[in-house]
Amino acid sequence: MNATTLRALADSNRLKIVELLLSGPLTVGEIVDRLGLHQPQVSKHLRVLSDAGLVEAEPSANRRIYRLRPEPLRELEDWVGSFKRIWDDHLDRLDDYLRELQTPE
Protein backbone atom coordinates (compact mmCIF):
# COMPACT_ATOMS: atom_id res chain seq x y z
CA MET A 1 0.00 0.00 0.00
CA ASN A 2 1.23 3.49 -0.70
CA ALA A 3 1.15 6.17 1.96
CA THR A 4 0.24 8.94 -0.47
CA THR A 5 -3.36 7.85 -0.76
CA LEU A 6 -3.67 7.49 2.98
CA ARG A 7 -2.01 10.81 3.65
CA ALA A 8 -4.46 12.50 1.31
CA LEU A 9 -7.35 10.94 3.20
CA ALA A 10 -5.90 11.65 6.63
CA ASP A 11 -7.55 15.04 6.97
CA SER A 12 -11.09 15.44 8.14
CA ASN A 13 -12.02 18.09 5.61
CA ARG A 14 -10.65 16.09 2.73
CA LEU A 15 -12.48 13.07 4.05
CA LYS A 16 -15.68 15.09 3.97
CA ILE A 17 -14.99 16.15 0.41
CA VAL A 18 -14.45 12.57 -0.67
CA GLU A 19 -17.62 11.47 1.06
CA LEU A 20 -19.53 14.28 -0.61
CA LEU A 21 -18.28 13.22 -4.02
CA LEU A 22 -19.49 9.72 -3.32
CA SER A 23 -22.97 10.98 -4.18
CA GLY A 24 -21.79 12.35 -7.52
CA PRO A 25 -19.57 14.97 -9.11
CA LEU A 26 -19.63 18.51 -7.79
CA THR A 27 -18.18 21.88 -8.68
CA VAL A 28 -15.85 23.65 -6.31
CA GLY A 29 -18.56 26.11 -5.38
CA GLU A 30 -20.98 23.37 -4.50
CA ILE A 31 -18.42 21.79 -2.19
CA VAL A 32 -17.75 25.17 -0.62
CA ASP A 33 -21.45 25.67 0.05
CA ARG A 34 -22.10 22.24 1.45
CA LEU A 35 -19.12 22.13 3.75
CA GLY A 36 -19.07 25.78 4.75
CA LEU A 37 -15.35 26.07 4.08
CA HIS A 38 -13.54 28.91 2.36
CA GLN A 39 -13.06 28.54 -1.35
CA PRO A 40 -9.25 28.66 -1.36
CA GLN A 41 -9.01 25.91 1.24
CA VAL A 42 -11.35 23.73 -0.78
CA SER A 43 -9.27 24.31 -3.91
CA LYS A 44 -6.15 23.41 -1.98
CA HIS A 45 -7.68 20.25 -0.58
CA LEU A 46 -8.84 19.30 -4.05
CA ARG A 47 -5.31 19.82 -5.23
CA VAL A 48 -4.00 17.35 -2.68
CA LEU A 49 -6.69 14.84 -3.57
CA SER A 50 -5.98 15.34 -7.23
CA ASP A 51 -2.24 14.88 -6.80
CA ALA A 52 -3.00 11.63 -5.03
CA GLY A 53 -5.18 10.57 -7.93
CA LEU A 54 -8.27 10.41 -5.79
CA VAL A 55 -10.23 12.95 -7.79
CA GLU A 56 -10.16 14.42 -11.26
CA ALA A 57 -11.54 17.65 -12.65
CA GLU A 58 -13.41 18.27 -15.83
CA PRO A 59 -13.66 21.91 -16.94
CA SER A 60 -17.11 23.03 -17.86
CA ALA A 61 -17.32 26.65 -18.91
CA ASN A 62 -16.41 28.71 -15.94
CA ARG A 63 -16.33 25.84 -13.49
CA ARG A 64 -14.56 22.64 -12.77
CA ILE A 65 -16.49 19.52 -12.03
CA TYR A 66 -14.72 17.18 -9.63
CA ARG A 67 -15.36 13.49 -9.42
CA LEU A 68 -13.82 10.56 -7.62
CA ARG A 69 -11.34 8.35 -9.39
CA PRO A 70 -11.88 4.70 -8.51
CA GLU A 71 -8.35 3.39 -8.87
CA PRO A 72 -6.75 4.43 -5.57
CA LEU A 73 -9.89 3.54 -3.67
CA ARG A 74 -9.95 0.17 -5.27
CA GLU A 75 -6.33 -0.29 -4.33
CA LEU A 76 -7.08 0.69 -0.77
CA GLU A 77 -9.92 -1.75 -0.64
CA ASP A 78 -7.71 -4.55 -1.91
CA TRP A 79 -5.12 -3.73 0.69
CA VAL A 80 -7.43 -3.63 3.64
CA GLY A 81 -9.16 -6.70 2.28
CA SER A 82 -5.93 -8.61 2.69
CA PHE A 83 -6.39 -8.17 6.42
CA LYS A 84 -9.41 -10.40 6.50
CA ARG A 85 -6.95 -13.09 7.42
CA ILE A 86 -6.90 -11.75 10.94
CA TRP A 87 -10.63 -11.35 11.35
CA ASP A 88 -10.58 -14.54 13.30
CA ASP A 89 -7.44 -14.57 15.29
CA HIS A 90 -6.68 -18.24 15.53
CA LEU A 91 -3.24 -17.88 14.04
CA ASP A 92 -2.29 -15.10 16.38
CA ARG A 93 -3.35 -16.93 19.50
CA LEU A 94 -1.42 -19.95 18.34
CA ASP A 95 1.55 -17.71 17.80
CA ASP A 96 1.29 -16.50 21.38
CA TYR A 97 1.06 -20.04 22.64
CA LEU A 98 4.19 -21.06 20.80
CA ARG A 99 5.94 -18.03 22.18
CA GLU A 100 4.89 -18.95 25.70
CA LEU A 101 6.45 -22.37 25.27
CA GLN A 102 9.86 -20.93 24.57
CA THR A 103 9.76 -18.37 27.37
CA PRO A 104 11.79 -19.74 30.24
CA GLU A 105 9.79 -19.53 33.46
Partner DNA sequence: TATATATATTCTTGTAAAGGAATATTCATA
Partner DNA sequence: TATGAATATTCCTTTACAAGAATATATATA
Site of interaction with a second copy (CB under 8 A): 1, 3, 6-7, 9-12, 15, 19, 22, 24-25, 58, 60-61, 65, 67-68, 70, 73-74, 76-77, 80-87, 89, 91-92, 95-96, 99-100, 103
Q: Of 51 and 80, which has the nearer Cβ to a second copy?
A: 80
Q: How buried is residue 8: exposed, middle or buried, by Cβ count under 10 Å (0-12/13-18/19+)?
A: buried
With beta carbons less than 8 A apart as the criterion, state whether 65 and 47 touch.
no
Q: Of 51 and 58, which has the nearer Cβ to a second copy?
A: 58
Contacts to DNA by CB under 7 A = 7, 10-11, 13, 27-29, 32, 37-48, 57, 59, 61-64, 104
